[in-house]
């Protein structure tokens, strides 16, 4: 056993900090939230959301760039409404996400619709809403979209998502720009696909789209992809197909442990330098950041239920589980772990696990903790791909969600009940 420090500062989370040896979200003590609202509990910082978007907006300055929040990272209506209020657009991947954007007051003219499997009803809804652009991912999709638009007496604005075969050097499950990935149209096939798109009566070609992956901590894959996209724009220009915007997707990483991801300014400065050098400084850019806007804006609170000191290892069994935060089980992802009220004394090495009936149900492994039954822990960097990937596995209700705002807090999603979980089901007669 080792001596447990009272606390350490939270990495990459300036809006979650210790005050009087209690972890706070902005000015709200998190033990108060756990006591009043129960756990598991997602807690987001309104100031952190604004600061993250502000870093992009400051980096953009007066350059022609639209930030479309990649809302699959966190689609809570309050989060969407805050980004809409601050001027962001949205990157959506389903008809349900479009409905959320509209319900939150988002501007459909700032919406790009991505995704490999758009259905006809989703296309109709997006055309009716008059979204900025469809990011089309196959020739079959081009034909379907043109037919749907024609049937409505409309033309759909499109860009083609091009797969540049660039290695994003990230986890294979979140790498999307290689030949073996399901996304996009191979760059060598793109000129023909654009020729087809330009000839379809229900479509209007407006852009080129690319997204190579998520949690990128190096700019070089972006720039490698950009060079290939500019070559494609040259080819299209020679064929008489004009491009209005270039969509570079999202993917900038956040700090989970010791990563040092590039800043939005570092990325944009180099992108515009390359564009200007190739004669395309006039092109409008679209960015689709998700994780970098919300990842470090949230924590997941969980309460220790039991401590189990087995022969092979020690377990801290908590009330959160893989159905609440899937990333550790799915990606073997690391989330920092902090005690809301740290203890001093001797530490033990624990695996932090949930109550789900799976050996894969774990949230953190091999952590040095001074912990007792009833202690509340905070899993860091839980603002992205936490609640949006949550499920009702083992018939477990999903957590509540809260946004702290200075010294106030707002429940922005009520905790599900068992009745909620069973709603819509029925037994046989």
Instruction: Let me know how long the chain is.
Output: 429
Buried b (16+ CB within 10 A) or exposed e, 356-367: beeeebbbbeeb
Q: Is 357 a known active-site residue?
A: yes
Q: How many CA atoms lie within 13 A of 63 on its CB side?
A: 25
CA distance 133 to 109: 8
308: which strand partners?
Answer: 315
66 Cα distance to chain centroid: 17
CB atoms within 10 A of CB 339: 23
Which residue reads 């997006």 in tokens?
A: 126
Say which residue the tokens 């989970």 belong to.
Answer: 256
Work out the angle between the directed axes of helices 220-238 and 264-277 (0-180°, nearest 10).
30
User: How far is 154 from 146, CA to CA, in rounded Å?
Assistant: 9
Contacts of 339 (CB under 8 A, 6+ apart): 7, 23, 369, 370, 371, 375, 376, 377, 378
Q: List the catalytic residue out of 68, 133, 210, 357.
A: 357
- CA–CA gap between residue 5 and residue 145 (Å, rounded): 59
Query: Is the separation of the CB atoms in 303 and 374 below 8 Å?
Result: yes
Distance between CA atoms of 365 and 41, rounded to whole angstroms?
Answer: 21
> Using only C-alpha atoms, what is the Rg of the chain?
23
Q: Report d(CA 7, CA 375) in Å as an integer.
A: 14
Structure tokens belonging to residue 245? 């915007």
Residue of 382, 397, 325, 328 whose CA lies nearest to 25: 382
Active-site residue numbers?
Answer: 357
């Amino acid at each position: 056993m080792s001596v447990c420090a009272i606390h350490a500062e939270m990495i990459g989370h300036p809006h979650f900090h210790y005050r009087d040896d209690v972890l706070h979200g902005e000015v709200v003590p998190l033990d108060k939230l756990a006591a009043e609202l129960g756990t598991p509990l997602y807690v987001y910082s309104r100031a952190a959301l604004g600061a993250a978007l502000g870093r992009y907006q400051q980096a953009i300055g007066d350059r022609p760039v639209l930030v479309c929040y990649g809302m699959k990272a966190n689609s809570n209506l309050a989060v969407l409404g805050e980004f809409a209020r601050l001027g962001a657009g949205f990157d959506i991947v389903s008809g349900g996400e479009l409905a959320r954007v509209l319900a939150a007051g988002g501007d459909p003219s700032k919406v790009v619709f991505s995704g490999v499997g758009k259905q006809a009803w989703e296309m109709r809804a997006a055309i009716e809403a008059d979204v900025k652009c469809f990011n089309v991912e196959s020739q079959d999709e081009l034909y379907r979209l043109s037919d749907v638009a024609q049937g409505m007496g409309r033309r759909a604005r499109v860009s083609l998502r091009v797969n540049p075969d660039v290695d994003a050097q990230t986890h294979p499950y979140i790498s999307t720009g290689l030949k073996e990935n399901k996304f996009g149209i191979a760059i060598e096939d793109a000129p023909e696909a654009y020729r087809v798109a330009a000839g379809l009566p229900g479509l209007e070609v407006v852009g080129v789209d690319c997204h190579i992956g998520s949690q990128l901590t190096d700019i070089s894959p972006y720039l490698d992809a950009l060079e290939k996209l500019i070559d494609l724009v040259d080819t299209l220009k020679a064929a008489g197909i004009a491009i209005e915007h270039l969509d570079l997707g999202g993917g900038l990483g956040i700090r989970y442990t010791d990563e040092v991801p590039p800043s939005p300014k570092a990325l944009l400065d180099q992108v515009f330098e390359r564009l200007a050098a190739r004669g395309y400084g006039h092109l409008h850019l679209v960015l689709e950041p998700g994780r970098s806007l919300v990842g470090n804006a949230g924590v997941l609170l969980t309460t220790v239920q039991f401590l189990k000191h087995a022969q092979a290892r020690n377990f801290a069994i908590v009330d959160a589980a893989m159905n609440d935060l899937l990333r550790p089980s799915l990606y073997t992802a690391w989330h920092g772990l902090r005690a809301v009220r740290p203890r001093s004394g001797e530490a033990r090495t624990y695996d932090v696990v949930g109550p789900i009936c799976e050996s894969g149900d774990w949230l953190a492994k091999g952590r040095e903790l001074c912990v007792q039954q009833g202690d509340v822990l905070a899993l860091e960097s839980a603002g992205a791909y936490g609640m949006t990937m949550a499920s009702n596995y083992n018939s477990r209700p999903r957590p509540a969600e809260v946004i702290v705002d200075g010294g106030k807090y707002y429940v922005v999603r009520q905790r599900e009940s068992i009745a909620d979980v069973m709603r819509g089901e029925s037994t046989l007669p």
